[in-house]
Amino acid sequence: MTAAVLATALAAATIVVAQAQPAPQAPASATQAPETAPSGAPATQPPQGSVQSLPSVSATPLYTFVYRAPPQPVPPPDVPAIAEIDLNATQLTPPAPLHVRVLTSVAVVSVTAQTSMLFMTRGIPIPKAQPGLFLFDGYIPDVPVFLRNHTFNVDFIATAANGTTADVSLPLRLN
């Protein structure tokens, strides 16, 4: 893809991301169903001190689009860098889930996804999961007809504590 196509797609995705809502969650009680033995009797409790894992309510998102930055020398510790951006899709038909993972240098303290359209710029923060890892799991609500069938450029902006930034623009299409 050319840089112009990528920039246009990111602008669209920023509008969508700005309108994204948190993904619906299952009730807490759904993850704590009692285990049963094959005979239907309740399973025995695990020995005290052992770790019991609960079944996952939702599977790990499948990232079908992966952007990897071209190889670069390792940046100094205070320089922000975006190494990879993963999206569950680059073409969305709202309402739809949106899953984003951004891998950065450890100097990055915040990541924002934003897009511009005409006279307005919209952006949302992507929450930090751990140093160098930012995750967003949300849901794009239905959007007005005039936003459909367009490709927008979404700018992913990584900011370090000293205020310096690194950015990557990616296309996102709303069908």
Q: What is the pLDDT of residue 54?
A: 37
Sheet strands (E) in the chain: 21-22, 65-68, 82-87, 91-92, 96-104, 108-117, 120-126, 128-130, 133-140, 150-160, 165-174
Domains in the chain, CATH or no CATH each: 3-23+68-174 (2.60.40.10)
Q: Is residue 46's pLDDT more than 70?
A: no
CA atoms within 13 A on the CB side of 173: 8
Q: Is residue 126's pLDDT more than 50?
A: yes
Q: In angstroms, rounded to a whole number, what is the distance separating the alpha carbons of residues 104 and 126?
A: 12
Q: What is the pLDDT of residue 167?
A: 96
Of 16, 153, 37, residue with least CA distance to 98: 16
Q: In angstroms, rounded to a whole number, what is the distance separating the alpha carbons of residues 102 and 113?
A: 10
Q: In angstroms, rounded to a whole number, what is the distance separating the alpha carbons of residues 65 and 48?
A: 43
Q: What is the mean pLDDT of residues 114-134?
A: 90
Q: Is residue 107's pLDDT more than 70?
A: yes
The two three-digit tokens of residue 118, written as one number:
């005409």
Q: What is the pLDDT of residue 95?
A: 93
Give the whole-number percent of the chain exceeding pLDDT 90.
Answer: 47
Q: In angstroms, rounded to a whole number, what is the distance separating the alpha carbons of residues 75 and 62?
A: 29
Which pLDDT band, with edges at 50, 70 and 90, does 13 fall under? Answer: very low
The larger pLDDT score, comparing residue 77 to residue 44, is at 77
The larger pLDDT score, comparing residue 104 to residue 1, is at 104
pLDDT tens digits along 60-79: 668 999 999 998 888 788 99
Q: In angstroms, rounded to a whole number, what is the distance separating the alpha carbons of residues 3 and 18?
A: 22
Strand partners for 113: 124, 156
